[in-house]
A and B are shown apart, each in its own frame.
Chain A
């Protein structure tokens, strides 16, 4: 395990855990989203990132509100329903030293935002994209979202007639370079995956089943706490290791560990559980997701990663100096250049 850093002590960049907090949550007591917010706070604190270096994005919905409940020292933009990806695709060009964290929900991603979500993944914009997936519209009081399973019964809605959208499968189909699934009831795994996602140079999709205690937490619902606990099938045990740290996975047995080295030199270490799983094999990832659908498994862990996929930034030759700090003379061509332009149109 990662060395337990006492919460009241500052980390290497001089911030205590309290410096990563947000406003008090206004979501329902027991909402899975609050647990995820807490894990974002812990992950950023433990990764020793200055909160000022993080930019938060969200769409509309309960999940999207939660960006206010962590990292108060970070800039945040709570935009329009389903259109958080485009905001990030503009804003993150301003300063490449910043890290983006986007929070979306199942309605925000799989209903109204499916297009922007998939195009974000295919452009591979470096952004942590967390879907707090509960299968239901909370803010409008309990309608089916596109991830709700067929046959789910909700008060006032009746029975859901449609098959669900699998967010992880959609992400992989769209060529996402990092796709994970987790369960808000498994905070330890959530935190490790968030750390790995933050260190990923590219779009990192985390589909986190995050139960809605008010509208969709019935035992039979595939987005409830009890269903998740009963059906979680971790692909592996995940531990994220910063470049300077030692690997300390317990019960180390030869042949049971797999590592993926990230762009910044950090490692994601996977401890084998019941079966072999190679998270760098895209075909295997798709097969596994199909199998999970057929067998009603809530598979969790890092489903797919390609740490070397080119990002959108690599399509442009961008300077180190942030674009948003360039002096006026750097962005207005000189007079002579206009003389040449005019001559070329004579």
Chain B
């Protein structure tokens, strides 16, 4: 606990307008220049069930989940008792006075908020009280931790798009509650905010919106999708931003088509059709949907169709925990489809990378003529994060080896080459492709998921099959130079390394800082894509012990590393769990300390 360094939890009932209150606080703190993160823990339900919201402020920018919070706002009688354990000793409980709690531990400082009285004093319209009640804690908190009232009013104006009729009743409640808190709550040393100078202009955005924007800046032309939590908002964001970004100014026509399919099998089929026909194509889904897409992904791999699949991971197997996060789809995505195959997997670690991989994935897919699976997760996809301005793509759009009429003419007449759809002219395993609408008499070919030779003719010949599969493998060697490289932080003593990927890098970086404060130096590698680059291999070879940290039960990344680098298998140690929550730095440090003395001294 300290100035600009604490956590707040809010327990409310879903469907009660708490999201508005919570986002108001988030935005108001963000405007003070203080790094802040928000995390929604919500049920698979529309109205009436418990929901929690967590805010963390940290001047150093460590914004992972905390095991316990310094302040708790309790608005839900159903969970108030069990929520007590989430408060740190010495922490503060602000509770709706209607909730009667007995036996609150003495280590917790408790204040009852007269919610109804404050609502009455602020002349709240009766029909809105259920929604306005949550504004009471916005005002109380503003007084307690020092959020300027004008930041709250700015945030409300942003949220309600400057609609006075909405902003004013909300703000009146905040003001009244603020005044009540000023008079009734004793402030606690250190538990407050101090504005920080903002070095760069920052924005607040969720990962799914960032991914959709990335794809639209990546020249996405076709997306088909089927609703599924937590991926739905990705496709909805495409629809939201296409009118603004992807209408041709000359013709007024759209340059990006979005189709809501009847199921995930159709969604991926449409995307494969579009990718085959020369459109930059993408679908977005979550684990159950990815299962349904498995067979078609095998077809796309074998028929060499560029497509992008975003999997915003939730907890599986089965329907699992639809509204909770995990990194449990890694090994499935890696091994998806029967037979021999390889899939490019991109692993964005924050919302900035959701945007970057949004456009980059389309380039990689078209350059390699193969599916690219991007594994995001609910933690990134559905939570709002503070990040630097989105960066405009610094490389031009890459369409890969596509031959139009004049290109075929040139290949044949000038370069004296014979074109075949699956003929490896360049020795990199990547053939040239033509797409529908190409009127050159030699352009058309027949695409199939069955055996074929270099000229796309049907073939069951043993040599044709083997040659084709070995060429496909070659593409994945080439892939290593096209995909994002790992991020590395090293100290040069090569003893212990932490290896992670995706959103788990957020708590891992913090755990490294905590250990460093204790005098233990840890090297760090964050994998950004598969196939593994040689950098990963070197990192494993250099370190005596590499802890692979991830949010799934089995240590799926550790398994893949073991398989790919068997010589390093005995250096790998797994820190992994899956309980529907993002890992916390505190838990990682504890696990490390449990394992490390034994393992390192062995």
Chain A contacts to B: CB under 8 angstroms: 50-52, 55-56, 67-68, 72-80, 83, 85-95, 97-98, 115-116, 119, 312, 316-326, 328, 330-333, 335, 337-338, 341-342, 345-346
Chain B contacts with A in 191-221, Cβ cutoff 8 A: 201-205, 213, 216-221
Contact A324 B278 (CB under 8 A): yes
Contact A98 B437 (CB under 8 A): yes
Question: Could you give 27 example pairs across A and B, Cβ below 8 Å?
Answer: A52-B438, A52-B439, A74-B444, A76-B446, A79-B299, A83-B296, A87-B276, A91-B277, A93-B257, A94-B278, A116-B266, A116-B269, A119-B262, A317-B253, A318-B254, A324-B437, A325-B404, A331-B221, A332-B397, A333-B217, A333-B246, A335-B392, A341-B213, A342-B201, A345-B204, A345-B205, A346-B202
Given contacts A52-B438, A317-B252, list 10 more A-B pairs with CB under 8 A: A50-B439, A55-B277, A74-B444, A83-B269, A86-B272, A87-B276, A324-B279, A330-B248, A333-B216, A346-B201
Contact A98 B436 (CB under 8 A): yes
In the complex, B271 has a CB within 8 A of chain A: yes
When C-beta atoms are compared, the residue in chain B nearest to A318 turns out to be B253
List chain A residues, Cβ under 8 A from B114: none
In the complex, B145 has a CB within 8 A of chain A: no
Contact A342 B437 (CB under 8 A): no
A76-B446, A76-B447 given; A331·B437 CB < 8 A: no
Complex Cα distance, B447 from A74, in Å, reads: 11
Per-residue interface assignment for chain B, residues 246 to 288, with 1 indicating a CB less than 8 Å from any chain A CB and 0 otherwise: 1010011111110101110111111111111111110000000
A-B pairs, 3 with minimum CB distance: A86-B269, A90-B273, A90-B274
Give the number of chain B interface residues (Cβ < 8 Å).
75
Contact B248 A319 (CB under 8 A): yes
Contact A342 B203 (CB under 8 A): yes
A88-B273, A333-B217 given; A77·B447 CB < 8 A: yes
When C-beta atoms are compared, the residue in chain B nearest to A112 turns out to be B265
Contact A90 B279 (CB under 8 A): yes
List chain A residues, Cβ under 8 A from B435: 75, 94, 324
List chain B residues, Cβ under 8 A from A88: 273
In the complex, B222 has a CB within 8 A of chain A: yes
When C-beta atoms are compared, the residue in chain A nearest to B216 turns out to be A333
Contact B201 A80 (CB under 8 A): no
List chain A residues, Cβ under 8 A from B255: 319, 323, 326, 330-331
Question: Contact check: which of A68, A326, A337 meets B221 at CB < 8 Å?
Answer: A326
A68-B446, A78-B449 given; A332·B277 CB < 8 A: no
In the complex, B393 has a CB within 8 A of chain A: yes
Complex Cα distance, B390 from A345, in Å, reads: 10
List chain B residues, Cβ under 8 A from A50: 439
Contact B277 A324 (CB under 8 A): yes
Contact A323 B221 (CB under 8 A): yes
Question: Contact check: which of B259, B270, B295, B441 meets A73 at CB < 8 Å?
Answer: B441
Contact B392 A55 (CB under 8 A): no
Question: Contact check: which of B251, B299, B390 meets A80 at CB < 8 Å?
Answer: B299
Contact B266 A79 (CB under 8 A): no
When C-beta atoms are compared, the residue in chain A nearest to B387 turns out to be A345
List chain B residues, Cβ under 8 A from A79: 269, 272, 299, 449
Contact A75 B271 (CB under 8 A): no
- Nearest CB on A from B433, distance (A): 11
Complex Cα distance, B269 from A312, in Å, reads: 17
A55-B436, A86-B261, A116-B266 given; A94·B450 CB < 8 A: no
Chain B contacts to A: CB under 8 angstroms: 201-205, 213, 216-222, 224, 241, 244-246, 248, 251-257, 259, 261-263, 265-281, 295-296, 299, 303, 389-390, 392-393, 396-397, 399, 404, 434-439, 441, 443-450, 458
When C-beta atoms are compared, the residue in chain B nearest to A122 turns out to be B262
Complex Cα distance, B218 from A68, in Å, reads: 35
- Nearest CB on A from B256, distance (A): 8
Contact A91 B274 (CB under 8 A): yes
- Nearest CB on A from B175, distance (A): 24
List chain A residues, Cβ under 8 A from B241: 341
When C-beta atoms are compared, the residue in chain B nearest to A342 turns out to be B389
List chain B residues, Cβ under 8 A from A324: 221, 277-279, 435-437
Contact A332 B219 (CB under 8 A): yes
Contact B396 A328 (CB under 8 A): yes
List chain A residues, Cβ under 8 A from B434: 75
Contact B444 A316 (CB under 8 A): no
A55-B436, A94-B435, A338-B390 given; A80·B269 CB < 8 A: yes
Complex Cα distance, B246 from A98, in Å, reads: 23
List chain A residues, Cβ under 8 A from B303: 77
Complex Cα distance, B261 from A85, in Å, reads: 11
Contact B266 A83 (CB under 8 A): yes
List chain B residues, Cβ under 8 A from A323: 221-222, 255, 257, 279
- Nearest CB on B from A11, distance (A): 16
List chain A residues, Cβ under 8 A from B441: 52, 73
When C-beta atoms are compared, the residue in chain A nearest to B31 turns out to be A346
List chain B residues, Cβ under 8 A from A326: 221, 255
List chain B residues, Cβ under 8 A from A328: 219, 396-397, 399
When C-beta atoms are compared, the residue in chain B nearest to A116 turns out to be B266
Complex Cα distance, B438 from A73, in Å, reads: 11
When C-beta atoms are compared, the residue in chain A nearest to B244 turns out to be A337
- Nearest CB on B from A341, distance (A): 6
Complex Cα distance, B445 from A95, in Å, reads: 17
List chain A residues, Cβ under 8 A from B404: 325
Question: Contact check: which of A52, A86, A318, A319 meets B270 at CB < 8 Å?
Answer: A86
Question: Contact check: which of B203, B262, B276, B299 meets A346 at CB < 8 Å?
Answer: B203
Complex Cα distance, B399 from A232, in Å, reads: 53
Complex Cα distance, B251 from A345, in Å, reads: 29
When C-beta atoms are compared, the residue in chain B nearest to A322 turns out to be B437
Complex Cα distance, B402 from A94, in Å, reads: 14
Question: Contact check: which of B251, B266, B437, B445 meets A94 at CB < 8 Å?
Answer: B437
List chain B residues, Cβ under 8 A from A342: 201, 203, 389-390
A75-B436, A80-B299, A88-B273 given; A93·B222 CB < 8 A: yes
Contact B281 A90 (CB under 8 A): yes
Contact B449 A80 (CB under 8 A): yes
List chain A residues, Cβ under 8 A from B205: 345
- Nearest CB on A from B92, distance (A): 31
**Most B-side CB within 10 Å, residue of A85, A94, A116:** A94
Complex Cα distance, B277 from A90, in Å, reads: 8
List chain A residues, Cβ under 8 A from B436: 55, 75, 91, 94-95, 98, 324
List chain A residues, Cβ under 8 A from B445: 75-76
List chain A residues, Cβ under 8 A from B392: 335, 338
- Nearest CB on A from B400, distance (A): 12
Complex Cα distance, B281 from A67, in Å, reads: 25
Contact B254 A317 (CB under 8 A): yes
List chain B residues, Cβ under 8 A from A332: 217-219, 393, 397
Complex Cα distance, B404 from A322, in Å, reads: 13
Contact A338 B217 (CB under 8 A): yes
List chain B residues, Cβ under 8 A from A72: 444
Contact B216 A86 (CB under 8 A): no
Complex Cα distance, B279 from A316, in Å, reads: 16
Question: Contact check: which of B279, B396, B444 meets A75 at CB < 8 Å?
Answer: B444
Complex Cα distance, B266 from A89, in Å, reads: 9
Contact B450 A78 (CB under 8 A): yes
When C-beta atoms are compared, the residue in chain B nearest to A119 turns out to be B262
List chain B residues, Cβ under 8 A from A317: 252-254
When C-beta atoms are compared, the residue in chain A nearest to B437 turns out to be A95
A90-B222, A91-B274, A342-B390 given; A325·B437 CB < 8 A: yes
When C-beta atoms are compared, the residue in chain A nearest to B261 turns out to be A86
Contact B245 A337 (CB under 8 A): yes
A68-B446, A332-B217 given; A87·B390 CB < 8 A: no
Contact B273 A86 (CB under 8 A): yes
List chain B residues, Cβ under 8 A from A56: 446
Contact B269 A90 (CB under 8 A): yes
List chain B residues, Cβ under 8 A from A335: 392
Complex Cα distance, B250 from A171, in Å, reads: 39
- Nearest CB on A from B38, distance (A): 14
- Nearest CB on A from B356, distance (A): 13
